[in-house]
Structures are given as C-alpha cells and as structure tokens.
Structure 1
Amino acid sequence: MRSGRIRLDRAVVQSFYDRMRVVAPAAYGAIERDRADDPGRAFAETACGRLAGSLDPAGLRALGMWAHHWCMRFYDDDTRVGVRLVREIAGRAGLGWTVDEVRWLLDQSYAAGPAAAHRFVLPRAAAAELPAGALSEGDDGPVEFPRLLAG
C-alpha cells in the first residue's frame, strides 16, 4: 500500500458521473424489477440482463461503474441483484476499460471499506484487461479526486 493518493483530473471524473447519469434511471429500474422477480432466473432473462445486452462496450462500462458505485454506497441494503450485475459485467472481456476508470473503481472500493465484501470484483476484472504496467505500483490504494455532483 502506498502513502500518497493519485489525483484524477476533475473533467475526467465529471465525465464518469455524466456517463453514469445516462444509464442510472434504466439501471435503477432494472435492479428494482429484478429485486421483485425470481432470483433464480437466468441473467439474460432478467431486466438487468436485457439492459446489459442492449449496451455497447462504453455503455456497459458506464453501467458497471454505476452498479459498482451503487453497490459500494448501499452495501448494507439488499444488493444481491446489483452484485449479480457487477459480477456479470466483470465476467465480460474486451470492454475497453481505461486506467482512469480502473483507478476510480479502486477508489470506490477502498472507500467502501471491508464491510462491502464484493468491492473488488469489478475493479480487479477491469484491471486485468489493462496492458501490463498500465497501473503503476502505487495504484493499489485510494485515488483522490474532487467530490462532484453524482445525481
């Protein structure tokens, strides 16, 4: 673990929130529908599965970032559906994750603390898609960025 924090550019972070805001209403609705539905249903047949299947890689990354952020903030609520969505997105290869996206995901994970058991599922999967050496040795800890409007 390192002692310093990496700062992400304000415009980059704001672009993450802007992209997440686009998918948030559909994602929230899909999660709520799936919470009330059969938990044993195949993912592709769920509202979250249909939403994920309708998105291009950039949209799927935004959905993953939103779901990850939502699960990390509300980990004490019933997030089984959200965690399933995060895991499904983490299992998809070739989404084109950027270094800054991975750093942001890691920061969200560290900020959630150890009570959020699934907090590293998506950032680790996303980091595995980056070229070797893309994350510096110091990228294993929280990222510092200004708090921007998320909603």
Structure 2
Amino acid sequence: MRSGRMRLDRAVMQGFYDRMRLVAPAAYGAIERDRADDPGRAFAETACGRLAGSLDAAGLRALGMWAHHWCMRFYDDDTRVGVRLVREIAGRRGLGWTVDEVRWLLDQSYAAGPAAPHRFTLPLAAEAELPTGAECGRAAGRPADGAG
C-alpha cells in the first residue's frame, strides 16, 4: 500500500483476491457479452445485471471489488460496461462493506490516478456504508466530489 496509508494484512488481501477470483470468470464473461449487446438495455436485463442479481451480499461485494479493480487496471475507452456495473453496485445499500474492503478500494483508487475518472465511485459509496467513526485510513487530498 502507499506510504502513509494503513497497511492491510497479507492474509486479508489474499482473501480479497481469492474471493474476486471466484467471481472473475462469470464477471468477465458478462462484461464481454454486454459489450456486444444494446447499451441502452435496462441493467437488470443485461448479463452483468443477471449476474449481480444472482449473488448474495458477500458475492456482490466481491464482484464490485473485481469490477473496480478491472476498471482501474485496464482503464480505456471500452470500460463503459464495467463502469456501469461498478455504478450499479455502488448504488446498492446494505452490502456490509468492511473497513478493510474500503481501505483496499481506496488504495486501488489512489494508485490508479486521474486517468481513471470513475475511480472513487465504489469506494466512496462503500465508505458511506461504514459505521460512524470507522477508521479506514482516509487520506487527505481526496477529491471532495469523489470524481477524481
């Protein structure tokens, strides 16, 4: 993690990657199907929407983390489907985000830099779900609007 930020335990991070690895094949397939489909289709009718609808809260958090990670690492002009998925998950309430998950999301967002304009969409939504006073290593200098 970045200097000055709270470090996550390796076992915790490995657990995140293990959970994301479980949803990755279905998520990648859904994104690829949706890229070739009608972009105006209602989210629930898309492959990503059907996948998101089939998961419990923990699975949806893992899917959100994977999609966020994928969009941050492979940001280009063709991430609109992934960004839509991230936005849809960010709009869900009561997913039970943990402080460590929010720390990881924020770190990924800061590391991505301004080339990824949607980098704070999910972390800020997840952060807003944390109990008041939860310490997730919020760094100074985060854009006030979260846009980046």
TM-score normalized with structure 2 length = 0.88
Aligned to 1:79: 79
- In structure 1, what is the Cα distance between the partners aligned to 2:23 and 2:77? 21
Deviation at residue 77 of structure 1 after TM alignment: 4.4
In the TM superposition, residue 52 of structure 1 has moved relative to its aligned partner by 0.1
Question: Alpha-carbon deviations, 1:74-132, whole Å to 9, x = none?
Answer: 11241000000000000000000000000000000001000100000000000000011
Measure the CA separation in 1 of the matches of 2:69 and 2:37. Answer: 23
Q: What is the distance in 2 between the residues matched to 1:84 and 1:108? A: 18
Tell me the secondary structure at the aligned position of residue 114 of structure 1. coil
Between the aligned residues of both structures, percent identity stands at 92
Displacement of 1:6 after TM fit?
1.2
Distance 1:77 1:131, change over 3 A: same
- The answer to whether the Cα contact below 8 Å between 2:30 and 2:51 also exists between their aligned partners in 1 is yes
Q: How far apart are the structure 1 equivalents of 2:48 and 2:3?
A: 38
Q: Tell me the CA shift for residue 5 of structure 1.
A: 2.1
TM-score (norm 1): 0.86
* Native 8 Å contact 2:2 2:107 kept in 1: no
Give structure 2 stretches of 5+ with no counterpart.
135-144
Q: Secondary structure at the match of 1:7?
A: coil
User: Alpha-carbon deviations, 1:20-67, whole Å to 9, x = none?
Assistant: 000000000000000000000000000000000000000000000000
Tell me the number of residue pairs that the alignment of Structure 1 and Structure 2 aligns: 138
Q: Which has the higher contact order (CA 8 A, sep 6+)?
A: 1
Q: Which ranges in structure 1 are unaligned for 5 or more consecutive residues?
A: 135-139, 142-149
